[in-house]
Amino acid sequence: MTEILTHLLAAGLIENIDGDETRFGKIEVAAQKIATELTETPKKLIPALLAGINPDVNSSDPAIEEAQNALVAEWKTMSSAYPSPPINLFRAILLEACRQAAEKSDKHASVLWLTAADSVCLMRLSKEESVVRNLLKNFAEKTERWATSAGDVPKAPRQAVDKLSWTPVSSNIEKVNRQKLRPKMGDAAGNSHIHSDGSNKNGGNPNNNWPSQNAATAAAWAGDFAERMTNAIGDELDNLSLQLSSVLDNQSQNFSKQIEKSLNEHRKFIQRISKANLSEQQAEITRLNVLWWSEALYSISFQQSYRELELPLAIIAMPWDLLSEGLAIPTPASVSYMLSESVCKLEKASFEDQIVLCDLLALLSSKKDIFPKEFIDSISAAPLEGMLTLRDLVALVLKEQPSDLEELLKRANIASDFKISVPVLSRAVFRQEQAIRLIEEE
């Protein structure tokens, strides 16, 4: 049994299983199919998670419908066990699918955590709360490790260079075979000669002449001698040259392979060092930029101090401005909290003071023309169907002309009188915008 499904079953979220392992196996297969779909289509991660953590999700939610279709494909008679749609069962399938997707990718885990961090508090979780929060905690830990561990510098190998081996050339070259060379020399000297065994014979190509005091015969003998001696010595030298060439070729190839292996090992190590150093430099740049931004409180979008802006405009500009400071995403968790602390530096902004979210959205909608066009264009559009995040609500009121804010709030599972502090809202937008950007990188 899959761990999350088992825990949700124990918590009572999954009903009408009655200890039937076959039914549970079909649920597991459905979850695996959804997980594959999430991995192949990452933009479905956010809707799947939001539906999975929401006890009040509508049965017509696209993610819920996908879970239902996946289960029906495995369990044709499901409707006989569930007279009404088992929404909680579909939620369990989605949560397990999200877990599997997160196991395969740190990026997917980050998308899920950055989305859920500020959404789960809006949900009315009950018996499944501890299971859901433990799952999200796992996502959070993976996200933080990914965001902070890139700068680890690899240790240098103990032996930076392998000793190169080289076999002496002479050990692979045969000596001249004197027994084979002697008959050739004898043939060059005369018509026959005494062999090492005492016999008087030739080697097969004897000189037609004998040495003589007569000039004519001596010249003939010398010609035959020169021809045969040249061939005999030349053949031996040619053979030695071939042997030497073969040995040197083998040695050079072996030496080249050793050099190449050693250089490749060092090249890879240098690349790891460079990557780690670049990551560490990026981490330092992130810290410096965030600190500078927090102290300056300067909006690059509005080109003025956040203190000079109306509070609702400032708290919405701040998340996107901070992300434009060249930050690598996902950012460490501390950056999100630095943002909320920076918001608290603004007049009338604190964690204690809360505003009605619906009123804030209405105000933003009425003042959206104040935002620079480039700022509005940089905001990714919110989904047309399914659940919404806090970031999505802000995106909708700035980019669209929503006629019914309460209907949008329902899609986010938020009551019309819901209140939130501005630093918490700004932090939520910051994290959820990162999730969107990670998805867009795919």
Q: What is the pLDDT of residue 190?
A: 72
Provide the 3-class DSSP secondary structure of residue 298: strand
Residue 287 within any structural domain of the chain:
no
Domain boundary among 245, 276, 307: 276
Domain count, the chain: 3
Measured between alpha carbons, how far is 402 from 161 in angstroms, rounded to an integer? 67
**355 with 405, same domain?**
yes
**380 touches 396 (CB < 8 A):** no
**419 with 341, same domain?**
yes
Secondary structure (DSSP) of 260-309: HHHHHHHHHHHHHHHHHHHHHHHHHHHHHHHHHHHHH-EETTTTEEGGGS
Task: Report the length, in residues, of the chain.
Answer: 442
How many Cβ atoms are within 10 Å of 160's Cβ, its own excluded? 10
**407 touches 385 (CB < 8 A):** no
**102 with 183, same domain?**
no
| Structure-block tokens of residue 323 | 């992300």
**210 with 306, same domain?**
no
**132 with 185, same domain?**
no
**409 touches 418 (CB < 8 A):** yes
**406 with 302, same domain?**
yes
**179 with 256, same domain?**
yes
Residue 153 within any structural domain of the chain:
no
Residues lower than pLDDT 50 in the chain: 1
**207 with 99, same domain?**
no
Q: What is the pLDDT of residue 1?
A: 43
For 22, the domain range is 3-148
| Structure-block tokens of residue 206 | 């004897």
**196 with 144, same domain?**
no
In the structure, how many helices (H) and strands (E) does the chain have? 17, 6
Provide the 3-class DSSP secondary structure of residue 8: helix
Helix (H) or strand (E) holding 438: helix 422-441
Q: What is the pLDDT of residue 253?
A: 83
| Structure-block tokens of residue 300 | 């690059």
Residue 264 within any structural domain of the chain:
yes
Residue 160 within any structural domain of the chain:
no
Q: What is the pLDDT of residue 432?
A: 98
Residue 156 within any structural domain of the chain:
no
Domain boundary among 276, 310, 329: 276
- Helical ranges in 297-403 per DSSP H: 311-323, 333-343, 357-366, 373-377, 390-399
pLDDT tens by residue, 19-34: 678 888 999 999 999 9
Domain boundary among 210, 242, 276: 276
Provide the 3-class DSSP secondary structure of residue 430: helix
Measured between alpha carbons, how far is 259 from 164 in angstroms, rounded to an integer? 8
Residue 157 within any structural domain of the chain:
no
Measured between alpha carbons, how far is 172 from 170 in angstroms, rounded to an integer? 5
Q: What is the pLDDT of residue 250?
A: 81
Residue 162 within any structural domain of the chain:
no
Provide the 3-class DSSP secondary structure of residue 201: strand
Is the preceding omega at residue 330 within 30 degrees of 0, hence cis? yes
**342 with 412, same domain?**
yes
Q: What is the pLDDT of residue 369?
A: 94
**57 with 139, same domain?**
yes
Residue 247 within any structural domain of the chain:
yes
**315 with 207, same domain?**
no
Q: What is the pLDDT of residue 78?
A: 86
Global pTM?
A: 0.74
